[in-house]
Structure 1
Amino acid sequence: MFHSSNDKEKILLAKVAADDEHAFAELFENYHQLLGSFIFRLIKSEPLTQEIVQDVFLKIWINRGVLAEITCFKAYLIVVARNHALNSLKQIARDRSRQTAWVNNVLRLAANDQNETDTHINTSELIDQAIALLPPQQKKVYLLSRREGLHQEEIATALNISLETVKKHMVLALRFLKNHLRTHIGIFLFLLVRLFNY
């Protein structure tokens, strides 16, 4: 008997709703690339895209009981993914804001201890200045890693260099940045450079 693609999808969703793991694997296979492309267009980060795709499908599996009632799974999937991606971006922004506030508060307390309350240290600006002083290739590797969130293998592919070269550039960049911060802010901030390695 002939089934339309919509009928096939409804049958597949009904099977997933009935705890069929094979059907869920098929659903994942049918939609994970589409979902990944959609999320990547929103957030422009491959590692975060992969994480969100996994989270969205986990959420779908956890709430699989409602799938039998879904009339258009693609639309449902996009709504769930968009909401999750936006929540993830908001959480990242909150985390960065808290991290910046914490660093600035620690620096303020350190400045008070040193009777330098009139000195305002803009941590982000100082770090950006230090990054600007890096040699071009080290700067590219550092920014792709820390600002774009790429893994070292991805950086090697993007820059057409070996993985060992990427590792060497990261070590040299981090060493330079730590020394630069230690020189310009003092030993107290040097204790904070672990933030580069989060």
Structure 2
Amino acid sequence: MSDLPIIDEDSELLLLVARGDEKAFSTIFNKYHNRLGSHLFRITRSHELAQEVVQDIFLKIWINREELFSVRNFKGYLYVISKNHALNCLKRNALENELTSELDDNQDFATEDNYEESTQYLLLDEAIDRLPPQQRQVYLMSRHERLKYTEIAARLSLSRETVKRYLQISSESITSYVRKKLIVSIFICSMFLF
């Protein structure tokens, strides 16, 4: 343990949490989850995303609870890591929306030529088909059936966190695959233009 003075009003609870005390963790969670959710809503403008970030943060705190021995200002620590996590989620969502928008923009040009349109759909289908079976199923249930994480988790007998992680991995994989293919096709087209 550090020789630094303890300045946080929650220091005793944090020490108990760091030692694995679930009751102390529950007390800390109950004390902060609503305030943190309100703070995150101001950042994300989404109740669902704010709730997800709160759950992610407290899960992360529990998993890495030994780090709490060195935390001197828990409230500040909590707000900083949650803000960073929320901003990362917003960036990831923006990237996914940008990719979707690019595909939609490209579809506007493709309406002139059905071949290009079908090629773009095939590219997206190809990326989805390359996903591992359970990730693909989670992705399709989320994007096509518009089910929430909890609904998918219940149907597939998975934890909500597993569903969320599968969606993150599959979205990143699809985005990466589509971008690589688009870059290659742009490069090939540019070769023919010169």
5 Å-filtered alignment, 1:111-126, equals 111-113=112-114
RMSD over aligned Cα, in angstroms?
2.4
Report the alpha carbon displacement of residue 48 of structure 1 after superposing the two structures with TM.
1.2
State the number of aligned residues: 112
Looking at structure 2, the residues matched to 105 and 7 of structure 1 have their Cα atoms a distance apart, in angstroms, of: 54
Report the alpha carbon displacement of residue 17 of structure 1 after superposing the two structures with TM.
0.8
User: TM-score w.r.t. structure 2 length?
Assistant: 0.52
Report the alpha carbon displacement of residue 11 of structure 1 after superposing the two structures with TM.
1.4
Aligned to 2:30: 29
Looking at structure 2, the residues matched to 47 and 8 of structure 1 have their Cα atoms a distance apart, in angstroms, of: 30
5 Å-filtered alignment, 1:1-150, equals 9-113=10-114
Identity %: 42
Deviates more, 1:42-51 or 1:87-96: 42-51
List runs of 5+ in structure 1 lacking aligned partners: 116-150, 152-198
User: TM-score w.r.t. structure 1 length?
Assistant: 0.51
Assess if the C-alpha contact under 8 Å between 2:16 and 2:24 holds in 1.
yes
Looking at structure 1, the residues matched to 22 and 14 of structure 2 have their Cα atoms a distance apart, in angstroms, of: 11
Which has the higher Rg, Structure 1 or Structure 2?
A: 1
Looking at structure 2, the residues matched to 50 and 8 of structure 1 have their Cα atoms a distance apart, in angstroms, of: 25
- Show CA shifts across 1:16-43 (max 9, x none): 1111111111110111111111111112
Residues 7 and 85 of structure 1, relative CA distance in 2, 3 Å threshold: closer
Residues 109 and 71 of structure 1, relative CA distance in 2, 3 Å threshold: same
Report the alpha carbon displacement of residue 51 of structure 1 after superposing the two structures with TM.
1.1
Looking at structure 1, the residues matched to 36 and 83 of structure 2 have their Cα atoms a distance apart, in angstroms, of: 10
